[in-house]
């Protein structure tokens, strides 16, 4: 996401842009019965269409979606992953051609989502939020991108290219803090000294997903290294809170942390832990100790997320840092709940012991998220504060995306199965 220098501008701009939509008498909340798949699909379809028709712009160089200045290219990547999830869970391929066009434009010469157009500011976490789309397409066997022989842009190849880039950058930065990937990967950027949760959790999750899918132990080893480092510098606490970041600025050597907690940070680690559990369950079921360890971690993240990011300790998902009286969530922050919905839903598929808890949390939140959306004769708008029981007047790309991912997260358990590259080897 935009670096700190841009951050100051960003807050100002998002204040100016926050538009209050007048609720006309014809507007009705989106109807949903969270226990009925057809109803959930219909609600997801309306929200997806609202997101797409309001923001899609092929001419936008911020990832084919209109985004406010300074630059929210990462949000477009997350938006495409949301629409990809929508297509996979519902079978409706409405956005495939536009998704492929956006990927073609943003994948870059290295087939790793580092396009030349973004090179002066792209950060590790920005790249990750595009990469999550490739990982998702790989896991569900989504149609391949068009390619010329030899094919170098399979979903797996793209995922490996990006993860290898993160591994190289980690090694280059290992001299401080005993490891850790920096937020920015260009030394000239102001965020270069920040080693944060969304970046390291994203690297962790990406390696864990590759480990589960390929069975290649190299990725599982990386996942362990990143997770252990995150615990050591206290980005991940013993009771599974995930704080925002730590720094190697002026010799700080990650000796203290920024304690802010955001829903997308814990979600990032939660889904990584779930994939590691699944990796062991599938590939190395004899390693009871590792299985128990990743099961406990996944359960810990789900329990802590439930206490921290759901109102009244478990009712409706909310972004506790910015959904308070007299506060507003910024352009980045309105989208964070989409990550928690997305990854808690997929975690429920991979780790049976958290399924009931995750489903309960997601269903009550999906009901509230749909209730925050207004449908005025087909024009859909979704709000930020689902705890209010209505549209609260704040709408932007992130509020649509969060509503979409949380509503459709209810569908993950009935989605097509998550694939693996090869059958687990005997005794591996």
In the bound state, the residue with its beta carbon closest to ligand NAG is: 178
Nearer to ligand NAG, 164 or 256 (CB): 164
Nearer to ligand NAG, 175 or 353 (CB): 175
**Least CB distance to ligand NAG at residue 124 (A):** 17
**What residues does 56 pair with on adjacent strands?**
65
Residue 297, φ and ψ in degrees, nearest 5: -65, -45
User: Are 293 and 279 contacting, i.e. CB atoms less than 8 angstroms apart?
Assistant: no
User: Are 397 and 58 contacting, i.e. CB atoms less than 8 angstroms apart?
Assistant: no
**Least CB distance to ligand NAG at residue 215 (A):** 9
Angle at 315 between CA 83 and CA 54, to 5 degrees: 30
User: Are 345 and 359 contacting, i.e. CB atoms less than 8 angstroms apart?
Assistant: no
Nearer to ligand NAG, 255 or 353 (CB): 255
**Least CB distance to ligand NAG at residue 256 (A):** 12
Burial track 107-118 (b if 16+ CB lie within 10 A, e otherwise): bbeebbbbbeeb
Query: 26: buried, middle or exposed (CB in 10 Å: 19+, 13-18, 0-12)?
Result: exposed
Nearer to ligand NAG, 177 or 354 (CB): 177
**Least CB distance to ligand NAG at residue 30 (A):** 43
User: Are 195 and 181 contacting, i.e. CB atoms less than 8 angstroms apart?
Assistant: yes
| Cis, peptide link before residue 150, omega less than 30° from 0 | yes
**Least CB distance to ligand NAG at residue 229 (A):** 9
Nearer to ligand NAG, 146 or 178 (CB): 178
Nearer to ligand NAG, 24 or 255 (CB): 255
> Can you list the alpha helix ranges (DSSP code H) found in 233-376?
263-283, 288-308, 336-350, 355-371
What residues line the site for ligand NAG (CB under 6 A)? Answer: 160, 164, 177-178, 216, 218, 253
Name 67's Cβ contacts closer than 8 Å, sequence gap at least 6.
Answer: 55, 60, 73, 75, 76, 331, 397
**What's the token pair of residue 37?**
């798949």
**Least CB distance to ligand NAG at residue 135 (A):** 14
Closest CA to 127 of 173, 188, 81, 175: 81
**Least CB distance to ligand NAG at residue 21 (A):** 47
**Least CB distance to ligand NAG at residue 386 (A):** 40
User: Are 243 and 314 contacting, i.e. CB atoms less than 8 angstroms apart?
Assistant: no
Give CA–CA dist 213/421, Å, rounded. 6
Give CA–CA dist 204/402, Å, rounded. 23
Strand 28-29 and strand 19-20: pairing? unpaired
**Least CB distance to ligand NAG at residue 140 (A):** 21
Nearer to ligand NAG, 24 or 164 (CB): 164
Nearer to ligand NAG, 39 or 253 (CB): 253
Nearer to ligand NAG, 42 or 420 (CB): 420
**Least CB distance to ligand NAG at residue 422 (A):** 10
User: Are 6 and 71 contacting, i.e. CB atoms less than 8 angstroms apart?
Assistant: yes
Nearer to ligand NAG, 42 or 156 (CB): 156
Residue found by looking up tokens 């559990």 in the block: 277
Name 15's Cβ contacts closer than 8 Å, sequence gap at least 6.
Answer: 328
Angle at 393 between CA 43 and CA 337, to 5 degrees: 55
């Amino acid at each position: 996401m935009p670096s700190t220098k841009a951050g100051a501008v960003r807050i100002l701009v998002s204040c100016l842009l926050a538009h209050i939509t007048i609720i006309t008498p014809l507007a009705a909340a989106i109807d949903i019965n969270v226990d009925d798949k057809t109803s959930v699909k219909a609600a997801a379809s309306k929200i997806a269409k609202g997101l797409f028709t309001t923001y899609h712009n092929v001419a936008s160089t911020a990832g084919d979606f209109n985004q406010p200045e300074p630059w929210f290219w990462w949000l477009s990547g997350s938006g495409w992953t949301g629409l990809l999830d929508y297509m996979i869970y519902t079978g409706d391929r409405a956005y495939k051609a536009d998704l492929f066009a956006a990927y073609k434009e943003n994948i870059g010469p290295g087939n790793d989502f580092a396009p030349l157009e973004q090179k002066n500011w792209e950060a590790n976490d920005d790249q990750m939020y595009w990469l999550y789309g490739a990982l998702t397409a790989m896991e569900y066997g989504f149609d391949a991108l068009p390619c010329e022989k030899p094919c170098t842009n399979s979903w797996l190849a793209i995922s490996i290219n990006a993860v290898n880039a993160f591994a190289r950058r980690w090694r280059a930065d290992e001299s401080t803090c005993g490891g850790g990937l920096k937020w920015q990967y260009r030394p000239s950027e102001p965020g270069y000294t920040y080693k944060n949760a969304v970046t390291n959790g994203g690297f962790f999750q990406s390696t864990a997903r590759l480990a589960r899918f390929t069975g290649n132990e190299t990725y599982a080893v990386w996942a362990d290294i990143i997770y252990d480092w995150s615990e050591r510098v206290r980005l991940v606490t013993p009771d599974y809170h995930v704080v925002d970041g730590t720094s190697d600025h002026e010799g700080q050597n990650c000796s203290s942390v920024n304690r802010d907690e955001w829903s997308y940070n814990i979600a990032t680690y939660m889904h990584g832990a779930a994939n590691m559990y699944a990796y062991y369950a599938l590939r190395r079921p004899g390693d009871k100790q590792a299985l128990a360890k990743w099961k406990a971690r996944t359960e810990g993240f789900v329990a802590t997320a439930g206490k921290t990011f759901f109102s009244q300790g478990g009712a409706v998902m909310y972004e506790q840092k910015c959904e308070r009286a007299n506060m507003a969530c910024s352009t980045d922050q309105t989208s964070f709940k989409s990550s928690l919905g997305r990854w808690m839903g997929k975690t429920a598929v991979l780790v049976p012991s958290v399924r009931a808890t995750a489903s309960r949390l997601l269903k009550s939140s999906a009901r509230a998220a749909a209730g925050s959306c207004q449908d005025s004769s087909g024009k859909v708008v979704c709000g930020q504060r689902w705890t209010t029981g209505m549209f609260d007047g704040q709408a932007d790309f992130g509020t649509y995306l969060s509503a979409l991912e949380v509503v459709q997260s209810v569908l993950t358990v009935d989605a097509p199965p998550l694939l693996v590259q090869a059958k687990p080897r005997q005794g591996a």
